[in-house]
Amino acid sequence: MKQKVIYLLVFLLIGGMQVFAQKYKVLDKSDKKAPVWYESAEAEFIVASAEATTMEAAREQCLASIKRQIIQSVAQNIEFADSHTIKQTTTNNDHISEFLDQYTAEGSTRAASIPYIKGISLSKVDGSYWEKRQDKKTNKITYAYAVRYPFPASEHAQLVAEFEARDQEMEQLVTQMEKELDTIESVEEINQRINKLRPAMDYFFDKTRQEWVKGVVENYKKLPTFITVDGEHIDNKTYSITLMLKGKPITTAAMPKLTANCASKLQASPYEGDILITYDTEDCLRDEQNSIDVVFRLPGKVLKHTFYVSGGE
């Protein structure tokens, strides 16, 4: 019975070795033995490995892996202050897990403005190792590449601080633009505010803040729909127009297009925040309905105003 157990153990051991046997053979490698750090983890270093059909492709994948690992390590340590941001910092929480996935997936793009991320280079690696492999079944040749990249705690802390500062800057920008939505004084200022928000639109990678900044931008885009025209005759050759946004005067540098059925010498010019329309009615008849059309082409809206003038002598 004991002998049978020994045979069984030997059989399982051999079977296990066959299961875990390498599916490839190493044709060439950079060192006789793989370094201790190869496919391991240690404090203040990032180890990245990749396998590709070319050595260069494997190297580039390692570089991308280093960036992803750094970005994720930073994301796990960022503290957020604003109510629009996820406050939890434990990876056991569903919200932060989703956040980290988005952060890592889009981090290469979003983090591009951080000088440290820009400075990540394979020239800074502490060690590297590669193997040229051949698949035992398909004979396909691949290259496995691994690097050991220094990432001391001091640099990690500095990078976390940079990300927090950038996050705070972007959140303060959107908060300010949201509060100042009703302080627009000119039509041109609407697009200026939208352009000012674009860095935040490009930077935010989590859904919560993406939706927040998009909502603020949409509110600015809707403002022209609330613009109306007030007008009054100054005399029989001058008409004054005031643009109004939600009951408050608003200016514009763009003069309107003027057309008339009989009036001539039409001209629009700015005057103390209003627009003065001057015209001549000598060709207009008194017993006809004589009108002048004023058309403003605003962002996302065409605003038309018509006023009537009396005939000439």
Domain that holds residue 288: 226-309
In a domain, 6, yes or no: no
Same domain, 33 and 157: yes
Q: What is the pLDDT of residue 19?
A: 38
User: Nearest-CA neighbor of 203 among 165, 176, 177?
Assistant: 165
Same domain, yes or no, for 73 and 192?
Answer: no
pLDDT category, 308, cuts 50, 70, 90? very high
Q: Are residues 43 and 147 in the same domain?
A: yes
Q: Which of 32-36, 205-209, 236-240 has the highest mean pLDDT?
A: 236-240
- HSE on the CB side for 183, CA within 13 Å? 7
Q: Are residues 213 and 233 in the same domain?
A: no
* 283 & 188 share domain: no
Task: Let me know if residue 168 belongs to a domain.
Answer: no
32 lies in the same domain as 146 = yes
Q: Tell the residue number behind the tokens 């200026």, with chain if given.
A: 192
- Are 310 and 285 in contact by the 8 Å Cβ rule? The answer is no
Q: Are residues 190 and 288 in the same domain?
A: no
pLDDT digits (tens, 9 = 90+) for 162-181: 878 888 899 999 999 999 99
Asked whether residue 204 is assigned to any structural domain, the reply reads yes
Task: Identify the band that residue 4 occupies on the pLDDT scale cut at 50, 70 and 90.
Answer: very low
Of residues 168, 216, 211, 225, the one with CA closest to residue 193: 216
Residue 3 lies in a domain: no
15 domain residue, yes or no = no
At residue 162, the 3 state secondary structure works out as: helix
| Alpha carbons 19 and 262: distance in angstroms, whole number | 95
The answer to whether residue 13 sits within a structural domain is no
244 and 213 both lie in a single domain: no
Last residue within a domain, chosen from 162, 186, 215: 162
Q: Which of 206, 224, 242 is the last residue of a domain?
A: 224
Identify whether 151 is part of a domain.
yes
Task: Examine residue 8 and state whether it is found in any structural domain, yes or no.
Answer: no
Domain count, the chain: 3
Give the H or E element holding residue 147. strand 141-150
Confidence of residue 87 (pLDDT cuts 50, 70, 90): very low
